[in-house]
């Protein structure tokens, strides 16, 4: 294994660890630090550079990944504007989607939707998802209006992408 392949593997491990940190932060505080998303962007930049040196990634592939990320950021910003997503979730979604690129974006979004749906159902059922979630005996209306920590769902999608990229 070449040095650049090891570098890429290290970047994927850093990506996974940052995703786990984001999920943990969101569960504890309903916030995701900007530094986590910036760390993911930095890991992607190094990962992409290593892939380019190895000949595994082209400028077109990286450009399309950036375009996917920009599109998701725009969609996330619209969701933020109507109160459907938090700002940290939007930034994490856009940053993590860089690794998905065009090849894995549908898998990434599908895993996020499935895990997010499961989290939403758990909150509606009264499960104590986070310390900030409403109590199990709260009304359904209160549970519907409470915030949902979506970072774990985004992290699950990103971990799926990281596992898929490591297998290649």
Q: Tens digits of per-residue pLDDT, 149-159?
A: 899 999 999 99
Band of pLDDT at residue 70, cut at 50, 70 and 90: very high
Task: Give residue 8's pLDDT.
Answer: 94
Tokens of 114: 């499935």
- Length of the chain measured in residues: 168
| Cα separation, 97 vs 104, whole angstroms | 9
Query: For the whole model, what pTM was predicted?
Result: 0.90
Two structure tokens written together for 99: 């690794």
Q: Can you give the pLDDT at residue 152?
A: 95
Whether the CB-CB separation of 19 and 162 falls below 8 Å is answered with yes
Please state, in angstroms and rounded to a whole number, the distance separating the CA atoms of residues 154 and 88.
Answer: 11
Longest dimension (CA), the chain: 57
Nearest by Cα to 89 from 141, 142, 146, 23 = 23
Residues 6+ apart with CB under 8 A from 63: none
Q: Is the pLDDT of residue 27 over 90?
A: no
Number of domains in the chain: 1
**pLDDT greater than 60 at residue 90:** yes
Residue with tokens 């916030």: 31
Question: Which domain does 15 fall in, by range?
Answer: 3-167
Tokens of 13: 């491990």
């Amino acid at each position: 294994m070449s040095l650049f392949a090891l570098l890429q593997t290290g970047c994927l491990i850093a990506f996974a660890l940052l995703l786990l940190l984001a999920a943990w932060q969101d569960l504890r505080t309903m916030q995701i630090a900007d530094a986590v998303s910036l760390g993911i962007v930095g890991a992607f930049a190094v990962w992409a550079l290593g892939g380019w040196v190895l000949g595994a990634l082209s400028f077109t592939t990286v450009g399309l990944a950036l375009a996917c990320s920009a599109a998701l950021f725009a969609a996330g910003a619209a969701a933020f504007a109507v109160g459907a997503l938090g700002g940290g979730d939007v930034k994490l979604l856009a940053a993590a989607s860089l690794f998905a690129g065009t090849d894995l974006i549908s898998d990434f979004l599908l895993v996020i939707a499935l895990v997010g749906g499961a989290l939403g159902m758990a909150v509606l059922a009264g499960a104590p998802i986070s310390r900030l979630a409403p109590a199990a005996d709260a009304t359904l209306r209160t549970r519907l209006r409470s915030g949902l920590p979506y970072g774990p769902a985004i992290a699950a999608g990103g971990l799926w992408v990281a596992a898929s990229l490591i297998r290649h």
